[in-house]
Amino acid sequence: MAVSGKPDRGGPATLITVAPTGAESEKSAVPALPVTLAELVTTAKECQAAGAAVIHVHIRDAQARPTLDIGRLTETVSALRESTDLIVQLSTGGAVTDSFERRLAVLDAGPDACSLTCGTVNFGDEVFMNPWGFMTELYAKTRALGVVPEFELFDFGHIAALRRLLAELGPPAGGHVHCDLVMGVPGGMPGDAATLVQAVAALPPGATWSATGIGRATLPVLFAALAAGGHLRVGMEDTVTFARGRPVASNAELVERAAAAAALAQRPAMTPDAAREMLGVPDHR
């Protein structure tokens, strides 16, 4: 798949983020899930070759359980930087069981970028907690350390909270606002075209955005995002089913599919360098 990319904001190229692991699926149930550092690095290289420019990272411990261990996170950032050109975005969401303290400490691993969820949301049978005080503390830390945040928006109220955050605390590190609409979580906004169009209309002026659909929402959200001029996030964090009855074989095939759809839409996959320029991410390699 051709990878190109004029870096102009809102321009023709499509930023593809891969979220390869997440914190929810179990390795025993999903053997293709990358859970070791070696598996993650291999996945990252394959996904870059397929058209990804950003990697959204959750890591696992030696038993393949989600962890925010700072030593492992630091090692992961270094390994991904050495082996790929991808922008390394660490998750500050972690798992629903992670404490605010540990989630704030993620930034000490020195990533290029991080996720920052703009509000609490029901998350299936669980609750993903992001109260205002935590959001502001995390945001202030991103600004102090120069880590570029990506604002994760699971529901419409999160867009209002993002606007308040920017108004009260100022612009993010890098100076540019980039959001990710996470659609189709049970408890968040649904993953359909009408909802996507409404959400995009409510974003702060000048913001760029990607979208991801969870599970069955994957393809409707992917096509709606391309049609509406947005960017894409795909990966096994968000879906482990490629087609009805057919498990995902690798993250790379999800990126390949996204890059093929973007190319068909005449908006080919953006290079990591072009993505750095669009997002205001310094090159730490």
Residues contributing to the site for ligand KMH (CB under 6 A): 22-23, 91-93, 95-96, 115, 117, 123, 128, 152
**Residue closer to ligand KMH (CB basis): 162 or 274:** 162
Please report how close the Cβ of residue 140 comes to ligand KMH at its closest, in angstroms: 17
* Number of C-beta neighbours around residue 75 at 10 A: 14
Please report how close the Cβ of residue 265 comes to Zn ion at its closest, in angstroms: 25
Binds 95, which of Zn ion, ligand KMH, none (CB < 5 to 8 A, cut-off by type)?
A: ligand KMH
Nearest C-alpha neighbor of 137 from the set 88, 98, 103: 103
| Strands 113-117 and 148-153, sheet pairing | parallel
Helix (H, G, I), strand (E, B) or coil at 1: coil
Candidates 34-42, 74-82, 84-92, 199-207: pick the segment binding Zn ion (CB under 5 A). 84-92
Please report how close the Cβ of residue 17 comes to Zn ion at its closest, in angstroms: 10
Cβ burial, residue 28 (10 Å; 0-12/13-18/19+): exposed
What's the distance, Cα to Cα, between the start and end of the chain in Å? 25
**Residue closer to ligand KMH (CB basis): 117 or 271:** 117
Binds 21, which of Zn ion, ligand KMH, none (CB < 5 to 8 A, cut-off by type)?
A: none
Please report how close the Cβ of residue 67 comes to ligand KMH at its closest, in angstroms: 13
**Residue closer to Zn ion (CB basis): 20 or 93:** 93
**Residue closer to ligand KMH (CB basis): 88 or 274:** 88
Facing residues of 88 across strands?
55
Binds 152, which of Zn ion, ligand KMH, none (CB < 5 to 8 A, cut-off by type)?
A: ligand KMH
The CA distance from 53 to 261, in Å, is 16
Please report how close the Cβ of residue 130 comes to ligand KMH at its closest, in angstroms: 9
**Residue closer to ligand KMH (CB basis): 13 or 116:** 116
Rg (CA), the chain: 17
| Strands 208-213 and 269-270, sheet pairing | unpaired
Candidates 65-73, 89-97, 100-108, 161-169: pick the segment binding Zn ion (CB under 5 A). 89-97
Candidates 26-34, 90-98, 125-133, 160-168: pick the segment binding Zn ion (CB under 5 A). 90-98
CA dihedral for 28, 29, 31, 32, sign (positive or negative): negative
- Per DSSP (E only), the strands in 46-199 are 54-57, 59-60, 66-67, 87-90, 113-117, 121-123, 126-128, 148-153, 178-183
What one-character DSSP code corresponds to residue 217? G
**Residue closer to ligand KMH (CB basis): 51 or 235:** 235
Among 91, 92, 142, 195, binds Zn ion (CB under 5 A): 91
- Per DSSP (E only), the strands in the chain are 3-4, 16-18, 54-57, 59-60, 66-67, 87-90, 113-117, 121-123, 126-128, 148-153, 178-183, 208-213, 231-234, 241-243, 246-247, 269-270
Binds 128, which of Zn ion, ligand KMH, none (CB < 5 to 8 A, cut-off by type)?
A: ligand KMH
**Residue closer to ligand KMH (CB basis): 128 or 209:** 128
Please report how close the Cβ of residue 116 comes to ligand KMH at its closest, in angstroms: 7
- Give me the residues that bind Zn ion (CB under 5 A), please: 91, 93
